[in-house]
């Protein structure tokens, strides 16, 4: 009897409202964060493909050697693999291609010269086409709307201490000491 009464009371109580869904972030909206310990800012900016195949990300990671990377995160994750060909074509221009790293899940490039060329092109583009040869040798193509201005990409790049449109000059690695 008590079991039936408990079940009836539970049925009479309306379910708790679902937590509100996170508001979608508009494409190319910078998501910045500041490290409380160091005060350094890092962040990213991204946009999803029109076809829903993935998203293109420009990211700043602040460490001892600040790194800006460009990433393609596919909807269906990539397996980890050795570097593979990826190209980006902006507004129907020439494809800018290089081998990107495939650590698993997605792919990225962090070479300063390549990143500078691509961030500058993407920042001024209206339509970006990404073409990836995935670890299974399949072609993955995605079309991403370009940003309305260079401001969001510039904000992320400059958070890492880069000057937008200029390849950073890094200090040379110290020479290894010779054994005496």
> Is 46 in contact with 91 (CB distance < 8 Å)?
no
Instruction: State pLDDT tens for residues 44-60.
Output: 999 999 999 999 999 99
Instruction: State pLDDT tens for residues 139-148.
Output: 999 999 999 8
Q: pTM for this one?
A: 0.79
Best CA proximity match to 45, nearest among 31, 55, 64 = 31
Distance CA 35, CA 43 (A): 11
Q: What domains are there in the chain, each with its CATH number?
A: 26-159 (2.60.40)
């Amino acid at each position: 009897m008590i079991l039936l009464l408990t079940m009836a009371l539970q049925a009479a109580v309306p379910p708790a409202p679902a937590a509100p869904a996170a508001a979608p972030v508009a494409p190319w909206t910078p998501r910045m964060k500041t490290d409380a310990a160091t005060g350094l800012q890092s962040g990213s900016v991204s946009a999803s493909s029109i076809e829903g195949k993935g998203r293109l990300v420009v990211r700043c990671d602040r460490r001892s050697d600040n790194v800006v990377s460009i990433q393609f995160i596919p909807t269906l994750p990539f397996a980890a693999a050795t570097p593979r060909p990826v190209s980006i074509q902006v507004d129907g221009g020439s494809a800018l291609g290089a081998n990107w790293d495939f650590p698993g899940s997605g792919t990225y490039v962090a070479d300063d010269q390549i990143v500078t060329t691509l961030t500058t092109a993407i920042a001024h583009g209206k339509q970006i086409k990404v073409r990836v040869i995935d670890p299974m040798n399949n072609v993955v193509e995605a079309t991403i709307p370009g940003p309305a201005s260079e401001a969001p990409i510039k904000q992320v790049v400059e958070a890492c201490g880069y000057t937008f449109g200029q390849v950073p000059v890094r200090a040379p690695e110290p020479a290894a000491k010779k054994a005496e």
